[in-house]
Amino acid sequence: MRLKITVDNKAYEVEVEVADADVATGVRYVGGNSSGGGGVTLAAPVAAGGSGGKEPSDEAKAVRSPLAGVVSEVHVAPGDVVEADQAVVVLEAMKMFTTVTSPIAGTIKSVEVVKADGVKQGQLLLELE
């Protein structure tokens, strides 16, 4: 669907995709030009559903997002050993940064997000072994 919008008296032409009910409404800015005086191209919406489709084998070893936001930093990778309360991910929401820490000591089994990913509250960020 193509839309024309005006921001600060500048006209933009944007192309958007209508999201399914199970898809979040957030989109990422990708850049681009249009004939409307400089427009934007939007990337596909971020998948929704508490964990983006992957569920941990043990919920006690899951690290979930405490809020909706954007991943600013990922401090760990699979195989890394972490201590309890060690910073693993930093999220940004409304220009505020929230550090997500590991609830237990262990080894990182999987990391489900990368920098700049949009996440929903409760979404699985990583899993410990």
Cα–Cα distances in Å, from 71 out to 38, 42, 129? 27, 18, 22
Q: Which domain holds residue 107?
A: 59-128
Residue 77 lies in a domain: yes
pLDDT, tens digit, 9 for 90 and up, residues 102-112? 999 999 999 99
Q: Are strands 62-64 and 106-111 parallel, antiparallel or unpaired?
A: unpaired
Give me the pLDDT at residue 62, please: 94
pLDDT, tens digit, 9 for 90 and up, residues 42-100? 333 434 344 455 788 889 999 999 999 999 999 999 999 999 999 999 999 999 999 99
Q: How far apart are CA 123 and CA 110, in angstroms?
A: 14
Residue 54 lies in a domain: no
Overall number of domains in the chain = 2
pLDDT, tens digit, 9 for 90 and up, residues 4-53? 888 888 888 877 766 555 544 444 444 444 444 444 433 334 343 444 55
Encoded tokens for 73: 């930093």
Residue 50 lies in a domain: no
| E strand segments, 40-122 | 40-41, 62-64, 69-74, 81-82, 87-93, 96-101, 106-111, 118-119
Residue 48 lies in a domain: no
Residues 8 and 37 in one domain: yes
Residues 89 and 32 in one domain: no
Residues 70 and 116 in one domain: yes
